[in-house]
Structure 1
Amino acid sequence: MEQEGVQSGVESTLIFTSLLILLMTITVVVFFVVYQNRKNKLLQEQKDEKKRFEREIAETQIEIREETLRNISWELHDNIGQLLTLAKIQLQTTTKENINEVSQTISKGLTEVRSLSKLINPEAIKNIDLREAIQLEIDRFNRLNFIDSNLKIIGKELEIDKKSSIIIFRILQEFFSNTIKHSKASMLTVVLEYTLDTLIITATDNGIGFAAPENTNKGIGLENIKNRAKLIGAEAKFSSKKGAGTKLSIHYKL
C-alpha cells in the first residue's frame, strides 16, 4: 500500500510538473506572439509615418514652388513691369538733368531681376536656408509695400535639418499669406531665437486678429499648420484676440 501511495504521489507530482511546464510554455509562446505583433505593428507605424513625412515634404516643396511662381507673377506685373514702363517714359524725355533718374530706375529693375533669380532657382527650395528664405520674403514684402516687415535673430545661429527647414518655411509662408490677405495688418515681425537645444520662431502681426476660427477653411488652415509642425517634432501655437493681432509660435528641438 505504501508503494502504491508513493507511486501515486510521484505520478501526481509528474502530472503537476508537466502541466506547470506546459502552462509556462504556453505563457511564453503567448507573450512572444503578443510581443511580435506589437513589434510588427510599431515597425509598420514607423514605415507609414516615414512615408507620410516624405509625402508631406514633397507636397510642401510643390506648394513652395507654386507660391514662388505666384510671387514672381506679382513682381513681374506690379514691380518690374512698372519700373520698365517708367524707364521707357523717362528715356523718351531724356535730358541731361534727368539722366540720373533713368539710371536709377534701370538699376532698381536690375536689382529686382536678381532677387527674382534667387526665387526661380529650384535648388533654393531643395537646399533651403531658413533665415535667408525668410529674409527674401521679408524683403519682398517691403519692396512691394505689402506690409512693413522685419526679421530679428536672437542667439547664435545653429544648423537646422533641411527637410525641417522646408516644413517650417512653408508654415511661415501660410501665416504670411493669411496676414497679408486677411489680417489688415500694417506690421509683421518674425523672430528666430536660438537657445542651446531649441529654435523658437515667432511671427506676429498687428492686424484685426480673431477670437476663434470663423469658418471651416480657416480652421483647416490652422490645423494644417499644427499637423505639419508635429511631423518634425515641433509644436505650433496661435494666440490672437479680435483687434489685437495674431501671433504664431513654433518650438523646434535642435
Structure 2
Amino acid sequence: MTLQYTEVTIDPRGVASLVLNRPEVHNAFDDLMIAELIAQLDSLAADNRVKVLVLKSNGKNFSAGADLNWMRSMAKKDYQQNLDDAAGLASLMHKLDTFPKPTLVLVQGAAFGGAVGLVACCDIALAEENASFCLSEVKIGLIPAVISPYVMRALGERQSRRYFLTAERFNATTAATLGLVHQVVSNDTLENQAEPLVQALLQNSPAAVSAAKNLLQQIYNKNINNEVIAHTTQAIAEIRVSAEGQEGLSAFLEKRKPNWL
C-alpha cells in the first residue's frame, strides 16, 4: 500500500521503525491512518527479518490523539457507522498489544487521548522530560473506551479512576510513577537512550521472546489455579524442546554464543 501517514524502515539488525508521520497535525490519527498502521503491523509481524519494533513519530509531539476533522465527521454518522469505526481503532490497539516481537515506544511532546493507548500497548515505553500525557476524552463529551483495557492495565484501576474522570494533564515523571512509561530521558536523547534496550533485546532468543510475550498475555491477572499451573508447565516444556531452546541451552553449557547472535 502507498504510505501517506507512516514511515517504515528495517535496519540490518532486524530493528523495524514504525513512524507516525503527520507532524503538521501533531500526528493525530484518523480512519486512514489507523488502517495504515494496522496494515504495517500485520506486514511487520509476518516479516521474519524483524526482531524488534520501535514505534515513534516525527515532529514536536508524539500524537495528539484523534484527528478533530475525523471526530467531526463521525459525529454526523449513525450508531452502526460509529461502531464499525471504533472497531478499527480496537483492532489497532489489539494488534500492537499482541505484536509477536518486542515493542518499544518513544514519546516526545504530547501524547493525548488514544495516543496514551498506543503507549500502554507497547512492551517498553521511554518518554522525554518534556512529554505530557492526557486522557482528555471527557473534556469533549467522550470516554476512553477502546483504550481503557490497556491503559487500566498500566495505571491500575485506582489511578485510572482519577485520570479518566479529571482529564488532567500529567508529565513524564508522573507517567513513570504511574507505570505508563518505564524511563524518562533528557530531551532529544530518545534514540540514544533506547539503543541499550534494543541491544539487550537483540541478544535474546527471538522465539523465546515471542513465547514470553504470549505467556504474559495468557497468565496476567489470573488466579494461580490448576489451569494456569498446567499452562506454565506446558509452556516451559515446549520451549525446552524447541530448536532455539535446545540451541540456547547447548550454547550456555558449551560457553559459546547462540546461533541467533
Q: TM-score band (shorter)?
A: under 0.3
Taking structure 1 as the reference length, the TM-score comes to: 0.25
Q: Which has the higher helix share?
A: 1
